[in-house]
């Protein structure tokens, strides 16, 4: 979204010179422009603006099982802003973001650098191996990890019992956020790694040669050339992660089946919106909560962009 501009090549070349005064050339170009943009605009309107507008509209009403629908203005918003379930949900995903995302991106960066260094044997196999979890649907991943986490017959528990260690309770209150973070990390490390790795491949090798001539080792090259060059790509992965974290839904929703007493129906803000709409039949309030969650994401993304940009231009 917002990243499109920041990550686009900064030195985009101008293909078209000064417009040639050919017959109708300029006007044809002018009429063709909107045509090219049209598919995007139509989809953007249909799939983004229209639902967004509809949600905003819905959020101003209240429909009740008895008594029908009434216009309530901003009542739903004032309710949501003091709703502990919503606030806790947002707080929880914020905490999740702060802990899980740096870890995941650091891992992705390390893997990308290791692959790019050319020192790994079987680089292709490893690259695929790290990426494969991303190809596993998150539903399947959650089911799989749910089984692995099991306190009775899960493999970790069984191993712990075999060697007479205390059984780790991955599905307890204290561990759950970490267990979820582990699943999400497992799923997305490879995805982020591929983005970073692709960015690494675009760095001109002359830079490395020059650095080597100056006596830089592999670590120094990574630190002084590769990582600075990765900034736009890192920012991109960071923004995706902001959005992903705040929308956390699949993993908690599925682990809810095996740990219903740890993961409540408002464990994450997104889950809360779902529960409101489909369990409580409070569609209007669900729209409000979703709208506010969207706002939180926009603010968080903007904050990330702002800090990153400030750092880039001291």
Partner 1 sequence: MSKFLTAASSAPLNRRGFLAATGALTLATSLSACGGSGGSGGGASAKAVSQADIDKAMQTPTELTFWTWVPDIAKEVALFEKKYPAIKVKVVNAGQGTPQYTKLRTALKAGSGAPDMVQIEYQAIPTFTITNSLLDLRPHGAAALKNTFVDWTWGQVSGTNGEVWAIPQDTGPMGMLYRQDIFDEHGIAVPATWDEFAAAARKLHKADPDVYLTNLAANQVAAWHGLLWQAGAKPYVTSGKSDITISVDDAVSQKLGTYWGGLAKEGVIGVEPDFTDSWYAALNKGKYATWITAAWGPVFLSGSAKATAGKWRAAPLPQWDASKPSSGNWGGSTTAVIRSTKNAIAAAQFAQFLNSDPASAKMFATEQFFFPATKALLTDASFVGDAPAFYGGQKVNQIFADISSTVSSSFQWPPFLDQAATDWTETVGKSLADGADTARALGTWQSRLTTYAKKQGFTVHS
Residues that bind partner 1 (CB under 8 A): 64-67, 146-147, 150-154, 257-261, 264-265, 275, 278-281
Cβ 42 to partner 1 shortest distance, Å: 22
152 three-class SS: coil
Q: Closer to partner 1 by CB, 154 or 244: give it.
A: 154
- Name the burial class of residue 137, with classes exposed (0-12), middle (13-18) and buried (19+) by CB atoms within 10 angstroms of its CB: exposed
Q: Closer to partner 1 by CB, 139 or 212: give it.
A: 139
Cβ 175 to partner 1 shortest distance, Å: 15
What is the tally of helices (H) and strands (E) in the chain? Answer: 16, 2
- Name the burial class of residue 143, with classes exposed (0-12), middle (13-18) and buried (19+) by CB atoms within 10 angstroms of its CB: middle
Q: Closer to partner 1 by CB, 214 or 261: give it.
A: 261
Q: Cβ(130)–Cβ(239) under 8 Å?
A: no
Q: What is the DSSP letter of 154?
A: S
268 three-class SS: coil
Q: Closer to partner 1 by CB, 279 or 309: give it.
A: 279
Cβ 291 to partner 1 shortest distance, Å: 19
Tell me the longest C-alpha to C-alpha distance in the chain.
Answer: 86
Cβ 283 to partner 1 shortest distance, Å: 8
| Residue 20, phi then psi, degrees to nearest 5 | -75, 145
Cβ 132 to partner 1 shortest distance, Å: 23
- Collect all residues with Cβ–Cβ distance below 8 Å to 43 and sequence separation of at least 6: none
Cβ 281 to partner 1 shortest distance, Å: 7
Q: Closer to partner 1 by CB, 143 or 296: give it.
A: 143
Look at the alpha carbons of 3, 291, 177, 157 in this order and tell me if their dihedral is positive or negative.
negative
DSSP string, 5-73: HHHS-TT----S-SPP--TTHHHHHHHHHHHHHHHHHHHHIIIIIHHHHHHHHHTTEEEETTTEEEE-T
| Residue 69, phi then psi, degrees to nearest 5 | -100, 140
Q: Closer to partner 1 by CB, 35 or 65: give it.
A: 65
Q: Closer to partner 1 by CB, 255 or 297: give it.
A: 255
Cβ 262 to partner 1 shortest distance, Å: 8
């Amino acid at each position: 979204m917002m990243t499109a501009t920041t990550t686009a090549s900064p030195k985009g070349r101008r293909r078209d010179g000064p417009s040639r005064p050919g017959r109708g050339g300029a006007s044809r170009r002018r009429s063709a422009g909107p045509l090219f943009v049209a598919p995007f605009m139509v989809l953007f309107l249909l799939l983004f603006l229209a639902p967004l507008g509809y949600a905003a509209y819905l959020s101003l009403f209240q429909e009740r099982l008895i008594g029908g629908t009434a216009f309530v203005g901003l009542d739903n918003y004032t309710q949501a802003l003091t709703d502990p379930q919503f606030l806790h949900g947002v707080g929880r995903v914020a905490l999740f973001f702060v802990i899980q995302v740096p870890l995941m991106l650091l891992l992705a960066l390390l893997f990308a650098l290791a692959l790019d260094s050319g020192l790994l044997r079987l680089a292709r196999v490893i690259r695929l191996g790290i990426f494969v979890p991303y190809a596993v649907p998150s539903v399947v991943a959650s089911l799989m990890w749910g089984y692995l986490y099991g306190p009775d017959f899960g493999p970790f528990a069984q191993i712990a019992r075999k060697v007479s260690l205390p059984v780790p309770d991955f599905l307890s209150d204290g561990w759950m956020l970490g267990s979820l973070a582990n699943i999400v990390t497992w799923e997305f490390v490879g995805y982020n790694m591929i983005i970073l790795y692709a960015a690494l491949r675009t760095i001109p090798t002359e830079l490395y040669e020059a650095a080597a001539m100056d006596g830089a080792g592999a670590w120094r090259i990574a630190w002084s050339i590769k990582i600075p060059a990765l900034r736009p790509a890192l920012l991109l992965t960071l923004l995706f992660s902001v959005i992903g974290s705040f929308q956390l839904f699949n993993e908690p929703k599925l682990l809810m089946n095996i740990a219903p007493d740890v993961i409540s129906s408002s464990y994450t803000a997104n889950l809360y919106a779902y529960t409101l709409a489909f369990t409580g039949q409070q569609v209007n309030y669900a729209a409000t909560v979703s709208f506010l969650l969207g706002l939180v994401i926009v603010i968080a993304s903007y904050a990330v962009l702002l800090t990153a940009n400030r750092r880039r231009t001291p």
